[in-house]
Amino acid sequence: MTTLEAAVVLRQPIESPMQAAVDAVLDQALREQRLVGAVVLVQHRGRFVYRNAAGWADREARRPMRADTLFRLASVTKPIVTAAAMVLVSQGRLDLDAPVTRWLPAFRPALADASVPTMTLRHLLSHSAGLGYRFLDSETDGPHARAGVSDGMDASNLSLAENVRRIATVPLHYSPGEGWCYSLAVDVVGAVLEAACGQPLDAIVRDLVCAPLGMSDTAFHAVDPARLAVPYVSDTPAPHALREGEVAAAFPDTAGIIYNPARALDRSAFPSGGAGMVGVADDVMTLLEVLRRGGDPLFDATWAGEMGRIQTGDYGPPDEPGWGFGLGFSVLRDPSLTATPEAPGTWRWGGAYGHSWFVDGALELSVVAFTNTLYEGMSGPFVTELRDAVYAGLAKEIAA
């Protein structure tokens, strides 16, 4: 080996325990064709300890995944819109505990007995309002379908106002505050924000969250369609490209989500506060880190703390024991019930196009994993494998 060759070898980065652990999980998921492509970011104490783009953004065109690949965010939209709502709360322009009818006088969904209970913004943001989702109905012709409600990911010519009007015609599952059900509540929040500000939701989110944080690639449509990842559906022997109008059930015995990927290119589609945004992993990491550090420059730590506080008592996602819900995402109540290395108070959620993320405030740890493969990237084994790899890698780095 020459001196020059030796110098080149010495300059090669030494693989860290985190890199080794996460690379192994990501490589295996790609090799086994459980994922087509992914962008994975890990920050610890405010600095990146892992970032990688791997696999294909477009398998058929052989376009590789890149760090700046755009993804349809699905429910990763929710914490972004929730942050916009909390900016307005911090400014005194919204009140978490005021009736929603203060801003939407006609929004009066009823219980099965026809009584109309009081519903607040806090109920909406914590999914304790009693609302539901069309894709979670047990039948394809369930109450939301009969009302013509859009879940925000299908091709729809409805306006936001009309969709919210239709949501209000569906009977509530329970009285607000007396249960938990994942729902179209954040779409209703979008209508509340429009009423409070007198602007379209896309402009509100841009002005209150995306612009102040420099999230320039995140919007209610693809800012650069050429960078948009092709979505795929888990299948055997390999995922298939998601078709326009394809229905895919995220959970057993449910109607399933109606997907129209072209919605991400349609600037006329109504802005779905629960599922409608497009963005990059780095932008979402930016928001999560701002919230973890206390919310500045969006709002002070009081409001970031309120987002991360369990709002739903003992209620929470039924398929996730030990988790409650804050404002915009789930919050870990008891790690022993779910066999996780995450600390109590950890925030977590994901997105139906194949995404997951979590923030462990006790360890100052934030993880964003965007994939283009549903549902492996949202709720498949990859999510748990990645979580465990991150904690294993971090433990080794701390011990070193």
Return the closest-CA partner of residue 144 out of 245, 251, 255: 255
Rounded (10°) angle between helices 160-167 and 185-197:
130
Q: Which two tokens stand for residue 365?
A: 């740890």
User: How far from the centroid of its chain's Cα atoms is residue 277's Cα?
Assistant: 10
Q: Which two tokens stand for residue 394?
A: 């971090």
List of residues 6+ apart from 109 with CB closer than 8 A: 116, 119, 130, 131, 167, 168, 169, 170, 171, 172
Distance in angstroms (rounded) separating the CA atoms of residues 43 and 54: 18
Evaluate whether 271 touches 202 at the Cβ level (below 8 Å).
yes
Q: End-to-end alpha-carbon separation of the chain, Å?
A: 31
Catalytic residue among 75, 156, 330, 366: 75
Return the closest-CA partner of residue 351 out of 158, 77, 140, 13: 77
* DSSP 8-state code for residue 234: -
Evaluate whether 327 touches 84 at the Cβ level (below 8 Å).
no
Q: Which residue in the block uniquely carries the two structure tokens 């995922």?
A: 239
Return the closest-CA partner of residue 39 out of 70, 15, 78: 70
The reply to whether 183 belongs to the active site is: no
- Beta bridge partners, 366, equal 43, 359
Cβ neighbour number for residue 277 with a 10 Å cutoff: 31
CA angle 74, 78, 81 (to 5 degrees): 125
- Number of H helices and E strands in the chain, helices first, is 13, 15
Q: Which residue in the block uniquely carries the two structure tokens 């309002």?
A: 129
Return the closest-CA partner of residue 208 out of 282, 268, 276, 295: 295
List of residues 6+ apart from 122 with CB closer than 8 A: 96, 97, 128, 311, 327
Return the closest-CA partner of residue 259 out of 268, 270, 250, 267: 250
- Residues carrying an active site annotation: 75
